[in-house]
Amino acid sequence: MKNVFAIAALLAATLFFAPSPALALDPALTLKDGERGTTADLYPTGDNRDKGLLLYSNDRFGYSVKVPHEIFTQVVVLPDNNDGLILRSRDGQYRFRASGGFVVFEDELESSLKNAKQHLEKDGKATQVFAKKGIDWWTLSWWNAQGKGSRKFMANGEVWCEVEITGPALPRNAPGGYDDLLDRALESLALPLPALAPSAGPSGELRTPPMLHKVYQFADLNGNGVMEIVVGADDCNGFSHQVHEIKGGRAALALNGGAGH
């Protein structure tokens, strides 16, 4: 663990003085809502395996998701409040929705899952419903007369986000590999750790520190076969970093520190 601390500190300093690569990227595609005049930028994911996927990052709530832009080519809504987007396929059969909001209830994760399941059951159109739940997420999959629906929800104590994909249910060997691509998009939903707490301004008003950029580094810092995730955040209060060890498919916090201004 000492090696983790030492290497993480060095890596944190490196990340602090190095510009975020995300800031230098130009969007690969800009979505436009002709009715509202709003836009949303999609960026390359940086992963060679993500053919047919582009990354959408929501500035308001901090979540991100990979969008199958070659399937969902039509903009339905890019809301004025910048909480997400709704897209559809050219033929209108498939729909992709991503949205976010502020956590209101202490049991946001449990209550949202309960409400989602009750809605499907009340609707009476879903013939099969399957749910999975993790520490900060849940997923729902269902089948009905219109086809298949999948939904993933995440919450970090401050904000929540979700992505929902609906459309005809296709066999896995269907031309184009739609199902595999849609599953990959659903699983890509990501939400960072809670932002730094607001601080009091000169007049006593609360000020939330603006996030300049956030960096994620995946590495085996100890060389012991255990993968670690280093998360660095650069904002007006300085730079902070955390190290999480990946064990049994979960990320366990191993180090929480900051490098100051």
What lies within 8 Å, CB to CB, of 120 at 6+ separation is 126, 129, 140, 142
Tens of pLDDT, residues 154-188: 999 899 999 999 988 765 555 556 778 889 999 99
Best CATH choice for the domain 34-187 from the list 3.40.1000, 3.90.320, 1.20.140, 3.40.50? 3.40.1000
CA angle 200–260–19, rounded 5-degree value: 105
Cβ-count burial 156-181 (b if 16+ within 10 Å, e if not): beebbbbbbbbbeeeeeeeeeebbeb
Question: From CA 132, how far away is CA 199, in angstroms rounded?
Answer: 37
Average pLDDT across the chain, whole number: 75
Tell me the domain boundaries of the chain.
2-20+209-260, 34-187
Question: From CA 222, how far away is CA 5, in angstroms rounded?
Answer: 10
Distances (CA, A) of 129 to 113, 125, 142, 182, 189: 12, 10, 4, 18, 21
Q: How many residues does the chain have?
A: 261
* Tokens, residue 24: 């230098």
Confidence category of residue 250, pLDDT binned at 50, 70, 90: low
Tens of pLDDT, residues 27-42: 999 999 999 999 999 9
For the whole model, what pTM was predicted? Answer: 0.66
As a whole number, mean pLDDT of residues 147-152 equals 92
Q: How many helices (H) and strands (E) does the chain have?
A: 3, 17
Tens of pLDDT, residues 106-128: 889 999 999 998 888 776 666 78
